[in-house]
Amino acid sequence: MTTVNATGNASLAKLADSYKTNDAEKKKEDDYLGREAFLKMLVAQLQNQDPLNPMQGSDFSAQLAQFSSLEQLINVNKSVESMAAAFEKSSETDASTFIGKEVTGNANSLDVTSGAPSVGRYTLPKEADVMVKISNSEGNVVKTIYPGQQKAGEYNVDWDGKDNGGNVVADGAYTYEVLVNTGSGYATLPTTITGKVDGVTYQNGKAYLDIGGVLLSPDSIVKVADVKAEEKPSMTALDYLGKDISYSGHIFSVEGGKVSGSGIKFDLENQEDVVIEVLDSKGNVVNKVEVGLDNTTTGQNTVNWDGTDSSGNPVSDGIYSYSVKSASGKAKVSESGEVTGIKYINGTQYLVAGENSDLVNIASVTGIE
């Protein structure tokens, strides 16, 4: 006896196969009645229908319409998720809005770039025996430092970027915990910092606030306040003309492949390895210059950037900045010169200072002589 099949098992199998998803997608969609589950139910219904009373074409069309609606709902759901993720990203705090303000934050983060860690600090309210634990992003302790007995005051986390086995740790984000013992056992010391935000530094695609050389994540801020009026300069760009100023670094203007300014200047207490990152206006690293120990000197150093990216290709015209990191984390970027002019770039005012016409952001002026 021949079995009557109104739709054909081969065709149904082919239709079902065309909607199969890989294991990862299937696992994700198992949380709800997805298109695959719906299709399996429909195929099972067709395969097991009464051959003498098959499904009417109108019924089959109705179920296919339901399947089409399900597809559309799944796509809408994915679109909403994408929109929510984009909104969340766009809602992140703009780090540049903190420049010039006084902030207080939990400063227990370290960022390692090319084996060189950023600066960490802590303040002892009174004399204590100190121990510092440094952990990776997974929470595992990679290094324990024993500074020993220290008097009340402010201290840097003296880490060389190596783990307890003497191996250089991988680049990335780390945290530190300061434990103090004043005679009754070790307890965690709060590592908060309060100070004026001098600028914004980008590390591994993330923005950090620069507070006297300490990098603070905007996410860790617990208090923000405007600088008191008597401490806040009321000068306009015109007021700086003809005056000698000191400034914490300058920016570059690249026009037709020509780089403005007098090069990257920084001071070192001792000869040591230095890493310089050149960043575009969006904070992306376009070139990384590594200066070895033998090519640095105690005191002021100057490194010239030729206006190329890490592949040796000329960068696009525009505004560029830089960051300087030394092995000890104590490299200082400070320059001075007379303000000889004002330049407008993309609607922003910049001071022109020094013998080599450095472009200086007014927010980076640290003193007027």
**Domain 234-368, what architecture?**
Sandwich (2.60)
pLDDT tens digits along 267-282 = 888 899 999 888 887 7
Residue 19 and residue 39 in contact, taking contact as beta carbons nearer than 8 Å: yes
* Residue 143 predicted with pLDDT over 90: yes
**By mean pLDDT, which of 57-66, 97-106, 233-242 is the weakest?**
57-66
Q: b vs e for 226-241, b when ≥16 Cβ sit within 10 Å of the residue's Cβ?
A: eeeeeeeeeeeeeebe
State the CATH class of domain 95-225.
mainly beta
Give me the residue spans of the domains in the chain.
9-90, 95-225, 234-368
pLDDT of residue 167: 93
SS3 47: helix
**pLDDT above 90 (res 141):** yes
* Prediction pTM value: 0.38
Phi, psi of 336, deg, nearest 5: -150, 160
Determine the pLDDT at residue 203: 67
In angstroms, the CA 103 to CA 226 distance is: 9
Contact 322, 307 (CB under 8 A): no
Indicate if the pLDDT at residue 129 is higher than 90: yes
- Whole-angstrom distance, CA of residue 214 vs CA of residue 66: 59
Per-residue model confidence as pLDDT tens digits over 304-362: 888 899 898 999 888 888 888 888 877 888 788 899 988 887 777 888 888 878 888 88
Give the Cα separation of 325 and 328 in Å (integer).
8
Contacts for 133 with CB less than 8 Å, ≥ 6 apart: 141, 143, 144, 145, 176, 177, 179
CA dihedral 306, 212, 89, 27 (to 10 degrees): 90
Report whether 339 contacts 238 (CB < 8 A).
no
Ranked by mean pLDDT, the top range of 32-36, 69-73, 256-260 is 256-260
Split at pLDDT 50, 70, 90, the class of 84 is low
Pairing of strands 318-326, 274-279: antiparallel
Most confidently predicted of 27-31, 82-86, 194-198, 307-311: 307-311
Is the Cα torsion angle 14, 18, 20, 22 positive or negative in sign? positive
Average pLDDT over residues 113-127: 84
